Structure 1
Amino acid sequence: MLNVLEPRYSIPSRKRMSEEIIPKLYNEVKQKITLSLTTADRVALTCDGWTSRHQDTYVTITCHYLDDWVLISNVLQTRAMQDSHTGANICALLSDALEEWGLTKKDPIIVTNNNATNMIRAVEMMELLHIGCFAHTINLASQAALKLPAISRLLGRVRRIVTFFHRSANANKVFKEKQRLLNLPCRKLTIDVVTRWNSALDMLDRFLEQQPAISAALLSPELLDEMRSTAGDSTVIKELKSAIHDNLRFRYANLKEKLYVASALDPRFKTLPFISDEEREDTFTTLISEIVTLEQVKQQGSDSAGNGGSAPVQEQKSLSEGDSDPSPAPPKRSKESCALLDLLGAAYVCAPVADRAREEVGKYREVTPIPLSDDPLKWWCKHEGVYPLLSLQAKRYLCVPGTSVPAERIFSTAGDIITAQRSCLLPEHVDQLLFLQKNYSFQ
């Protein structure tokens, strides 16, 4: 077609595409993302490993940060794991990524799958804050509850019946006839999957919906007795909730304080109705303490940058003039200085910041929470000037994704790129193609 439209046009060769055009485009987009990352106060990373259809193992890293109260998400890199997938090797890979993208001083947080013990170990070795994927945590806690004897027996019986209708063509035919006779929706029975807890709920919902057709097809009154509500159901439900609660409490034991602060900074949940009054007050006290600490670090950084290099110059000048006393003269007291400030200044330097922080937190707590359907980032964008100190903490917490799903979404995209017809793709080209597919529209 191109030859007919423009015979003089030369189509780029495979070599030129892979060695010139794609790498050039990759470097252009990478420079834009690197420049944008320099403005981020804090970054959150998600990472996960996956295996291609050619049994090559890769680790993909995504980055999330706030830019003018807009959550920006980018795929940073996809690296092949040639060595064993130990925590030390993954730690080296993550450390190289932070160094390459200039994120070591951005106080990064890493979100990973709770089942990936090597990932968790790598983050521990890097001494970074690790957040377990909320979706995986809920699944693990729910699966632990579904293993209770009463629940497991019930799910096992339903699963065997559903499997029978899936495998038997004759049984499925009778089942469809009963659906039409009973005016039930003509939908298939679903079966649960271990990796998705809600699939068990979907299986039971569909089973109860089609229960008349199932019982008519099987002519089994015992099944009806099993599914009918009984007095013992309340005990089972209590055991189910207790198992989920205990599992979640164990998994979030070390992160409870951070998660409470994150919830407090979300204007939808800032009343913290799910905890006690004492825990609520402790949470806002912790938030005030973090605000003061952040301001101290910023002040120390500005002081060291402003005073650097002054003392060596003075000493060099004195020695060059041949003074008999090589010790430098004591520095003159500034006009703003006084004896009381020299004596107690270090202890009271942060008092104004603490007072401002308490004032902002008090005003923030008095405001009515916004509806759950509203965007908390848009709320903070409008009220940043009202809460200048509190908004800095909101930027540090609300940029962290709750799950590692952004990294896992790369798996399906990678399956479209690494096909059977592209078995010779080098890891470098896989990285570039995935990077461009997800980031090319980045502005």
Structure 2
Amino acid sequence: MEEHVKIAGPVNGNFTFKKHPDGTIDKGRVICVLCKKEFAYHRSSSSLAYHINAKHPVASATAANVSGKDAPNLASHSNTLRQTKLEDNTPRMSKSATERLTNVLAKWIAMNCRPINIVEDEGLTEVLQTASNDPLYKPPCRATVTTKISKMYEGEKKKKLEILVEDSPNCIAITGDHWTSAGNHSYFGVTGHFINNEWNLNSFALTIMKSETRHFADKCAEQFLQVANDWGIEAKISTIGTDSAANMLAAMRALPYEHIACNAHILQRTITVCLDNSGFVGVLAKCRKIVGHFKQSPASTTELNQQQVALGKKSEHLIQDVPTRWNSTLAMVSRLLRNQEAVQATMDQRNNHRLVMPTEAEWGKLQRLEVLLEPCRYVTELLGGEAYVSCSIVLPAFRHLDRIMDITDDDPAYVVKFKNAFQKELAARQPDVNKKTWLKLATALDPRFKDLKCLPREKREQVWTSLENMLQAAEPRRADTLQLSTEEDEPAQKKRRSALILGSDSDSEEDGNEYGELQRYRAEPSISIDDCPLQWWYDHSGTYEKLSALARKYLASPATSVPCERLFSLAGHIVQKKRAALLPENVTKLVCLSDWLKKEK
């Protein structure tokens, strides 16, 4: 039996005398029964009381409330007593709240293209601790976030597959293109586009996968087929949109799908060629030198900003045009014209004689060029959308540009040269008449442009005839019904078929025909250019059941391959120089997931 120290006060019963190996008791040494720490004992309990109060506050409070005879019982409970730590009294987030925060972190990293190692950022940790009111919270590690993103990708992809199966019609348009990353790796991107049952235009990424081989035509065709097989849409693809590269054109000839060339590329290439062989070459060269000077001289830029403020204008930098950046020449010219006085004042102030400013006649040339290129910019932006119908706009938009480029009596020789070249180049780069069929049908099925004024009069009726033939082909076959009918019923069947061919409306609702449906659609008034054609079809889909099915098919195709360009811009934010070593499968997950999550908002 251990002999307890009989000490008055709160330490009573919390210490025992130390025993020698021979069993004798050392009255000069005591041991704490709670933590087994040894102390010197000189008949003073001050140091012992301090130890109990500081290290064992629970035992101290308990010992103060028990009598001397109960003190020995305290030793029997010493194993259940422990020191209270600071974090025991700190409010902590629950496990479910921590899990939710981890999921939100993973979603933020994926959607906004943040590097995964951002979870190790001390500043982010401090922000999260402050926001959660938990000073001990630690963000998840990189492995946890990577696992969360992978699971999120699989879950979102499953949702997209369900949408393609359940909510999409039997026609999906896709666009495809190639891209080279900062790590000099080639990727192939594909986007899908369709109109759902609610007549909303859906557009999202299908993949961006690493391409291991050179971009030969047969390999490009195989890649399109592989993506279609992975998503189970081989039988649903209606059109494939690409640029006009030779390998892509050859690949499209090998595939059983309609090809739509990127009309924005066609327009921009037309502009580039016309500018290179026009009377604007000299003045544009001067503009590039002026902008380049300000780009390379911080002092001149500062002086320019001061002159802009002094003239009551907005402080803004000049823009340098880039051949591969659409509408950049127009942006350079417009910015220079807007800041003509400020630029001239800056050059005079700094006595820079190396640069030659445009003459008054050349400034006039730039003003004419701005007027010529502004409609092209508008059409480019109009064709490049993916949140609205764009396929049916191509022919009206190009016809609009063609009219703008008509020569007038007031046009000087250099403008006449540009307009002639523009009309010739644009006509040469557009698909031939046979390949325009899809665009013509889409235009006719758009209630904004169904008057087909963008086509010559003799071509308009051909479009409606094509639609009539398609509606007739879409009619359910009645061969089995005819075989089962009696000879007495045959005259009535033939009569109804004759009425169908003549295009007359039947008195019975069951005997309504597609030709009557088409004629009624043609009689409808056109809607405003600002109205939504999908909303019109949503309101009239019950009236034009078979025609609306065609509208869903033809209006879903994008006019350009710009959706892929946007996908590559997104990929460029992810595959940076610091992240050039990302695995291809991780690039696919991050790019697609970011695209999906942003479009869900």
8 Å contact kept, 1:292–1:353: no
> How far off its partner does 1:403 sit?
2.0
> Which of 213, 223, 230 matches 2:359?
223
User: Residue 163 of structure 2 aligns to which amino acid in structure 1?
Assistant: S
Give 2:155's match in structure 1, choosing from 28, 31, 37. 28
Matched, 1:253 2:431: yes
User: Which of 262, 269, 279 is the matching residue for 1:133?
Assistant: 262
**2:217 and 2:248 in contact (8 A); partners too:** yes
Distance (whole Å) between structure 2 residues aligned to residue 111 and residue 221 of structure 1: 44
Task: Name which of 335, 338, 350 aligns with 2:485.
Answer: 335
Partner of 1:405: 562
Whole-angstrom CA distance in 1 between matches of 2:580 and 2:270:
39
Cα distance change on mapping 1:7 and 1:177 into 2, 3 Å: closer
Q: Distance in 2 between matches of 1:197 and 1:120?
A: 22
Alignment partner of 1:105 out of 199, 218, 235: 235
Please identify, of 268-277 and 230-239, the stretch whose mean Cα deviation from structure 2 is larger: 230-239
Q: Which amino acid aligns with 1:186?
A: S
Aligned match of 2:412:
234
Match of 1:311 in 2: none
Q: Deviations over 1:37-72 (max 9, x none)?
A: 224221000112222222221111111111111111
Matched, 1:5 2:116: no
SS at match of 2:484: coil
Cα shift at 1:352: 7.8
> If the length of structure 2 is used for normalisation, what is the TM-score?
0.60
1: distance between equivalents of 2:150 and 2:331?
46
How far residue 187 of structure 1 moved from its aligned partner, in angstroms, is: 2.8
Q: Paired residue for 1:274?
A: 454
Measure how far apart 1:333 and its partner are: 5.5
In structure 2, how many angstroms separate the alpha carbons of the residues matched to 1:214 and 1:371?
43
Q: Name the CA shift for 1:27/1:340 in 2 (closer, same or farther; >3 Å).
A: same
For the pair 1:77 / 2:185, whether they are aligned, the reply is: no
Cα distance, 1:434–1:186 mapped onto 2, change above 3 Å: closer
Q: Give the superposition deviation at 1:105.
A: 1.3
Aligned ranges for residues 108-127 of structure 1 at < 5 Å?
108-114=238-244, 116-127=245-256
Correspondence 1:317-336 to 2 at 5 A? 334-336=484-486
Shift in CA distance, 25/124, structure 1 to aligned 2, threshold 3 Å: same
Distance 1:66 1:146, change over 3 A: same
Structure 2: unaligned runs, 5 residues or longer: 1-86, 100-138, 349-355, 369-408, 506-512
Alignment gaps of 5+ in structure 1: 308-331
Q: Which residue of 2 aligns with 1:427?
A: 584
Letter in 1 for 2:210: A
Q: CA RMSD in A?
A: 3.6
The aligned counterpart of 1:265 is 445
Q: Could you tell me which amino acid in structure 1 is paired with residue 272 of structure 2?
A: Q
Q: TM-score, normalised by structure 1?
A: 0.80
Cα gap change, 1:360/1:81 in structure 2, threshold over 3 Å: closer, same or farther?
Answer: same
Distance 1:369 1:166, change over 3 A: same
SS at match of 1:402: coil
Percent identity for Structure 1 against Structure 2: 30
- Say which SS state the counterpart of residue 5 (structure 1) adopts: coil
Tell me by how many angstroms 1:143 deviates: 1.2
Show CA shifts across 1:358-391 (max 9, x none). Answer: 3223222222222222211111000111111211
* Residue aligned with 2:543, SS: coil
| Cross-structure match for 1:324 | none
Show the 5 A alignment for 1:23-422: 23-38=150-165, 39-68=168-197, 69-114=199-244, 116-169=245-298, 171-172=300-301, 175-176=304-305, 178-218=307-347, 223-228=359-364, 233-254=411-432, 255-295=435-475, 299=476, 334-337=484-487, 351=501, 356-420=513-577, 422=579
User: Which residue identity lines up with residue 194 of structure 2 in the other structure?
Assistant: Y
Q: How many angstroms does 1:75 deviate by?
A: 1.5
SS of equivalent residue, structure 1 residue 94: helix
Q: Which residue of 2 aligns with 1:310?
A: none
Instruction: Please report how far the alpha carbon of residue 210 of structure 1 lies from its aligned counterpart in structure 2 after TM superposition.
Output: 2.1
Query: Quick one: distance in 2 between partners of 1:222 and 1:159?
Result: 11
Is the contact made by 1:49 and 1:59 (CA closer than 8 Å) also made in structure 2?
yes
Q: What amino acid maps onto 1:91 in structure 2?
A: A
**Contact kept? 2:301, 2:317, Cα under 8 Å:** no
Secondary structure of residue in 1 paired with 2:442: helix
Residues 153 and 341 from structure 1, CA distance in 2 versus in 1: closer, same or farther, beyond 3 angstroms?
A: farther
What one-letter code is carried by the residue in structure 1 that aligns with 2:254? M
Shifted more, 274-283 versus 230-239: the winner is 230-239
Give the AA of the match of 1:163: G
In structure 2, C-alpha distance between the alignment counterparts of 1:23 and 1:175, rounded to whole Å: 50
Task: Give, as a single letter, the amino acid of the residue that structure 2 aligns with 1:26.
Answer: Y
For residues 181-236 of structure 1, give each alpha carbon's deviation from its aligned partner in whole angstroms, at most 9, with x where no partner exists.
Answer: 54444333222121234221122222222223334444678622322369985333
Q: Please, which moves more after superposition, 60-69 or 226-235?
A: 226-235
Q: Which amino acid aligns with 1:334?
A: L
Which residue identity lines up with residue 424 of structure 2 in the other structure?
D
* C-alpha contact 1:215 1:223 (8 A) present in aligned 2: no
SS in 1 for 2:235: coil
Q: 1:339 to 1:384 in 2, by over 3 A?
A: closer
Letter aligned with residue 70 of structure 1: N
Q: Which amino acid aligns with 2:205?
A: V
Bigger CA radius of gyration: 2
31-40 or 67-76, which moves further after superposition? 31-40
Check the 8 A contact 2:241/2:560 in 1, yes or no: yes
Listed one character per residue, the Cα deviations across residues 98-152 of structure 1 (whole Å, up to 9, x for unaligned) are 12222121143111123x3323322221132111222222211111221223022
What is the CA–CA distance in structure 2 between the aligned matches of 1:137 and 1:96, rounded to whole Å? 28
Relative to structure 1, the CA distance from residue 238 to residue 283 in structure 2 (aligned partners, 3 Å threshold; closer, same or farther) is farther
Is the 1:29–1:442 contact (alpha carbons within 8 Å) kept by the matching residues of 2? Answer: no
Looking at structure 2, the residues matched to 238 and 245 of structure 1 have their Cα atoms a distance apart, in angstroms, of 11
